[in-house]
């Protein structure tokens, strides 16, 4: 089974230990049911991945020891998804989670004709009321 990945932009390439934020800690300990001495991966989105071992398991601040640092040169985008903006924020968040899981390189917001019409109607309404 592949190691679970966690994203944290604040982890630096020189770290030997690290404390996961509350959301990642809760997911790690309560959802994945990971324990002390379990292994996971952390990435910072800048090409660095860290293989880490849990040293203190707590649902609010899990501590890990970095055992291996891996740098991978960023690649050129290979897959792009364009999506019209979704009104419901939770659906947008769900879509971004799934796109990330599928390792999509670029997610672009597409501007639709309906969106343009709504902007035009709002501008006309604003001019009439003022």
pLDDT tens column, 101-118 = 777 777 777 777 766 666
Task: Kindly provide the b/e burial profile for residues 14-50, where b requires at least 16 CB atoms within 10 angstroms of the residue's own CB.
Answer: ebeebbbeeebbebbbeeeebeeebebbbbbeeebbb
Instruction: State how many domains the chain has.
Output: 2
pTM for the model = 0.59
pLDDT tens column, 16-26 = 999 999 999 99
Residues 18, 51, single domain; the answer is yes
Radius of gyration in angstroms for the set of CA atoms belonging to the chain, rounded to a whole number: 20
Which range of residues forms the domain containing residue 41? Answer: 5-71
106-109 and 80-83 strand pairing:
parallel
Residues 64, 98, single domain; the answer is no
Residues 15, 64, single domain; the answer is yes
Residues 14, 58, single domain; the answer is yes
Beta bridge partners of 70: 49
Domain of 55: which CATH number?
A: 2.40.240.20
């Amino acid at each position: 089974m592949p190691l679970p990945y966690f994203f944290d932009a604040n982890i630096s390439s020189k770290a030997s230990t690290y404390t996961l934020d509350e959301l990642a800690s809760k997911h790690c300990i309560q959802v994945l049911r990971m324990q002390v001495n379990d292994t996971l991966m952390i990435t910072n989105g800048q090409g660095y991945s860290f293989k880490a071992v849990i040293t203190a398991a707590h649902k609010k601040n899990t501590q890990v020891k970095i055992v291996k640092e891996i740098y991978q040169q960023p690649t050129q985008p290979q897959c792009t998804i364009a999506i019209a903006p979704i009104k419901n924020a939770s659906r947008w968040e769900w879509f971004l989670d799934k796109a990330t899981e599928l390792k999509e390189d670029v997610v672009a917001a597409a501007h639709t004709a309906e969106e343009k019409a709504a902007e035009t109607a709002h501008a006309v309404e604003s001019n009439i009321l003022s």
